Structure 1
Amino acid sequence: MKRIVPTLAAATFALVAGVAFASDKCDAGPKDQWQLKEALEKKLQAEGIKVKRIKIDDGCYEVYGTDAKGGRIERYFHPKTLEPVKN
């Protein structure tokens, strides 16, 4: 029992500290100000990218797909501007 309490306390602190210091890659604000995923997909298709999936990760749109040569891509885009986000 004496070992469990300090371990739980340390784990709780690490979890809270991680959440407190976490920041989004794209600080895009409220989602009602974001452009639609469909707009990003249309933009990428015009560039020759075949989109397989768009999801939200770290406050960005994360795109999985293939380029014009068939190579796999995984890229982040800012949801307001739809511009690529540098890692």
Structure 2
Amino acid sequence: MRIVTASILAAFATLAAAAPALAEPKCTTEPKSAWLTEDAMKAKIAGMGYKDIRTFKSTSGGCYEIYGHDKNGKKAEVYFNPVTGDIVHAK
């Protein structure tokens, strides 16, 4: 019984450790020299209707990521391809 319980706990620990890595999408492998500048990306994001951006950052998955609000005022977490400016994933 203890072996089964220990195995289950180990499996959950492995899944919990892997979850943050799975949460972030992969956007591009292009070098940063090919990316839109932060100012150009911020202008594009504003043109899409996103506002009140409290976080704008680049991620380890090669994305620009924002936390703010969409044009309807709903909270938004959005990952953009930094080369094209296209939305890769939105929550």
Q: Which residue of 2 aligns with 1:46?
A: 47
Runs of 4+ in 1 over 6 A off after TM superposition: none
Q: How far apart are residue 60 of structure 1 and its match?
A: 0.5
Distance 1:68 1:84 in 2: 15
| RMSD value, Cα | 2.4
What amino acid is aligned across from residue 79 of structure 1 in structure 2? P
Distance 1:48 1:63 in 2: 13
What amino acid is aligned across from residue 48 of structure 1 in structure 2? G
Q: Which residue of 2 aligns with 1:81?
A: 84
Any stretches of 5+ residues in structure 2 without a counterpart? 1-17, 19-24
Larger radius of gyration: 1
TM-score relative to the length of structure 2: 0.61
Any stretches of 5+ residues in structure 1 without a counterpart? 1-17, 19-23
Q: How far apart are residue 47 of structure 1 and its match?
A: 2.2
TM-score relative to the length of structure 1: 0.63
Does the residue aligned with 1:85 lie in a helix, a strand or coil? strand
Across the two proteins, how many residue pairs are aligned to each other?
67
Q: Which residue of 2 aligns with 1:31?
A: 32
